[in-house]
Structure 1
Amino acid sequence: MEDYELIPAIDFCIGHHIELEMVQILGKEGLIEIIELEEAYFIPEHQIKKLEKIIVFHKDLNINLEGVDTIIDLLERMESMQQQIIQLENKLQRFL
């Protein structure tokens, strides 16, 4: 098991004014990783930023879960491409 902090899902839900069921649905849909331990749900710390984005898209902007999934996928692709560009620029600097 990876070494990261687990946030109680209920604490996150209270702080963000959402239902625990929402986090469970997002976990079942594969949009975020949730961990169930002793009948309680936990969110890995590295998933919090992604979950907060999902909540904004879904709750504040009224985008359905399929749309949210597409948006998150596109954002992750863009981030990956940005990292590749940085790596290529660094390689190119060696030759200049």
Structure 2
Amino acid sequence: MSHSEYIPVPELCKHYCITQTFFEELHDKGVLQIVSIEHTNCLHQESIPTFEKIVRISEDLHINMEGIDVILNLLDTVDNLRNQLNATQNRLRLYE
């Protein structure tokens, strides 16, 4: 893994107008994985879409950390169920 795949948290704080404690809370709850690189907390670039979802949920809906965790788990469950349904429908088409 190269360091270019990670974005420093202070940079994200400036861009999204979020405090560093928000990132720490997300990390403490296990919602996002923050990595320390050269004494700077960083977020992997693949986590940005999830982080943006979290910001929208938090700011637009005024949901607390526990609620955010529940909502993300429910969204993952819905995606998994949707994938299973698509796979089942594809298998059924073979018999039609």
TM-score range, shorter chain: 0.7 to 0.9
In 2, Cα distance between equivalents of 1:24 and 1:39: 15
Q: Deviations over 1:28-53 (max 9, x none)?
A: 11011111112111111221111111
Is 1:71 matched with 2:43?
A: no
In 2, Cα distance between equivalents of 1:60 and 1:33: 23
In 1, Cα distance between equivalents of 2:58 and 2:29: 14
Tell me how far 1:95 sits from its aligned partner.
2.1
Structure 1: runs of 5+ lacking an equivalent: none
Tell me how far 1:71 sits from its aligned partner.
0.9
Q: CA RMSD in A?
A: 1.9
Q: Partner amino acid for 2:41?
A: Y
Is 1:49 matched with 2:49?
A: yes
Q: Which has the higher helix share?
A: 2
Q: Percent identity?
A: 29
What TM-score, normalized to structure 1? 0.86
